[in-house]
Amino acid sequence: MAQDSGGWTLFMKPPRFAGEEGAALRGSCHEGVPSFSLPARHSHCAKMQNVSVFLYFIFLFSRRHGLWFRLRKVILWLLGVYIAIPFLVKLCPAIQAKLVFLNFVRVPYFIDLKRPQDQGLNHTCNYYLQPEEDVTIGVWHTVPAALWKNARGKDQPWFEEALGSTHPVILYLHGNAGTSSLGYHVVTFDYRGWGDSIGSPSERGMTYDALHVFDWIKARSGDNPVYIWGHSLGTGVATNLVRRLCERETPPDALILESPFTNIREEARSHPFSVIYRYFPGFDWFFLDPITTSGIKFANDENVKYISCSLLILHAEDDPVVPFHLGKKLYNIAATSRSFRDYKVQFVPFHTDLGYRHKYIYRSPELPRILREFLGKSEHEHHH
C-alpha cells in the first residue's frame, strides 16, 4: 500500500501537497504572519490538507465506482442475452433450423455460379433442374481429366451425353469436387435454398433434390457405376437417399461418407457452437428438441441399418466440427448391421498430424489409392 498513490501514502503526503509546489503552498501559510497567530494558521493548513485528501478520495472512488457500474451493466446485459437465447430458440424452432442449415451464409461471395469457367473450371458445365414445382436447383457437372480438353467451350447437351462414356459417376453432396482427376464424372448441386437454387431448405426437400439428381444421372449414364459421396451435413442427405434407393431396389454402386455423424442431435450436442450452452440446465429441451420439432433428424445411425451397398467412411482425427468419435460410432453400427453382411464396410482414419480437420481430406495423396481399391472391390461385389 505504501507504493500506491491511492493508498496509505495519501495520509502522509497528498499529491497536491507534494514536491516544490507543496512546499511553496506550505510556506505561504507562515509568510509575513505574526508569531502569535501561528498555531491557528497551522490548524488552517491541516484542515486544507484533510479537505484535499477527502476530495481526492471522492474523485478516486467515483471514477472506480463509475467503471464498476458500467462493467456491471455490461455483465448483466450479457447474462440477460445468454439466458434469453435458449427461450428464443425454444419459442422459434425456425431459428435452430437456420443454424443447422446455415444456407444464409454464402462463401465465397460475388461468384456467378452460372459461369464455372470464371473460376478456372473450363471442364465444368452449369445446369438447372426442377425437382418440384417452384423449386429449381443449380448443378455443376465436371468431366474426368481425360475429357477436359474436349470439354472446353461445349454446351449442356455435350456434357449430358458425356455421362454415357465409360467413366464412373460420383454424385457429390455438398463437398469439394477434387476427385475429378481420378477419372470420374463429378456431379454436385446446391440444395434448394443454397447458392442460386430456389426454394426453402428442409430435410425432406434436400433428400428429394438428391433423388431427382440421381435419377437424372442414371437416365444418362447407362450401365456406368454411380457412387454417392456425402460430406458433413451431406452425409445425412446421402444416407437418406441411399436408404430410399435400397428400399426401391435401385441401390448405388457404393456409398462414401466423409466426416459423418450419427444423427443431428448428437452432432448438435458435440458441435463447437454448443460449448457455451452444453451444461445449461435443460440443454436438450431448449436446443435439441426444437431441431426435432422442425423435422430435422438426419439419422445416419438408423439409415445404415437399411442400406445394402458397400460403405466407405473417411474421417480426420482432428475434425473440430464433427468429432472423430461420431464417425467411428457410425462405422461400428454399420459393421454389425445385417444389411451389410454381403458388402464391404471400411473405415479410414486420417491422423491428427496430417491436419486435414473437417474439410481437407481430399488433399490426401493416399486418397486416389484408397478409392481405387475400395471402388474396385465394390464393383466386383455389385456384379456378383
**CA 248, 252, 255, 256 torsion: positive or negative?**
negative
Return the minimum-mean-pLDDT range out of 89-98, 111-120, 277-286. 111-120
Q: Does residue 135 carry a pLDDT above 60?
A: yes
Query: Of all residues in the chain, what percent carry a pLDDT higher than 70?
Result: 77
Cell, residue 233 = 451435413
- Cβ 347 vs Cβ 256: under 8 Å: no
| Residue type (1 letter), 160 | E
pLDDT at 23: 43
- Cβ 15 vs Cβ 56: under 8 Å: yes
Q: Does residue 136 carry a pLDDT above 50?
A: yes
Beta bridge partners of 137: 129
**CA nearest neighbour of 242 among 340, 132, 359:** 340
pTM for this prediction: 0.77
Other CB atoms within a 10 A radius of the CB of residue 303 amount to: 26
Tens of pLDDT, residue by residue over 210-239, are 999 999 999 999 999 999 999 999 999 999
- Rounded to an integer, the average pLDDT of 70-86 is 88
pLDDT at 113: 78
- Rounded to an integer, the average pLDDT of 98-125 is 76
Under the banding of pLDDT at 50, 70 and 90, the label for residue 26 is very low
More confident residue, 341 or 56: 341
Which residues are annotated as catalytic?
232, 319, 358
Tens of pLDDT, residue by residue over 170-183, are 999 974 334 444 68
d(CA 300, CA 241) in angstroms, rounded, equals 11
Strands 185-189 and 226-231: unpaired
